[in-house]
């Protein structure tokens, strides 16, 4: 079964839009600032979040930070799907036109 280029482009575009929406849902900077943690970037690195979660923090804050980790993993997954499917279409078209 061959997947059409149009379908792969739709998948790529949909995955990219989903990744953007998931990224907009990531409010880790806001959550940390509301809890008195001063950060430089609005997108703190994972190592900082892990370090902060390992300290004695309230359960509610830990649950919110776990949600942030899930959102970041989902964002990365959707970006990979978008990039791979887009470049798959490009590579297939280049190979087809060179034959």
pLDDT 10s digits, 11-46: 999 999 999 999 888 888 888 888 887 877 777 888
Query: Does the pLDDT of residue 99 top 70, yes or no?
Result: no
SS (H, E, C) the chain: CCCCHHHHHHHHHHHHHHHHHHHHHCCHHHHHHHCCCCCCCCCCCHHHHHHHHHCCCCHHHHHHHHHHHHHHHHHHHHHHHHHHHHHHHHHHHHHHHHC
In this prediction the pTM is 0.78
Tell which wins on pLDDT, 3 or 21: 21
- pLDDT score recorded for residue 45: 83
Query: Does the pLDDT of residue 57 top 80, yes or no?
Result: no
Q: Report the pLDDT averaged over residues 73-78.
A: 93
């Amino acid at each position: 079964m061959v997947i059409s280029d149009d379908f792969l482009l739709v998948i790529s575009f949909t995955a990219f839009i989903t990744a953007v929406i998931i990224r907009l849902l990531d409010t880790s900077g806001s959550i940390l600032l509301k809890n008195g943690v001063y950060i430089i970037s609005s997108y703190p690195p994972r190592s900082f979040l892990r370090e902060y979660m390992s300290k004695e923090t309230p359960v509610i804050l830990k649950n919110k930070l776990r949600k942030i980790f899930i959102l970041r993993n989902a964002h990365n997954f959707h970006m990979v799907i978008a990039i791979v499917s887009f470049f798959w279409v490009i590579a297939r078209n280049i190979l087809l036109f060179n034959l």
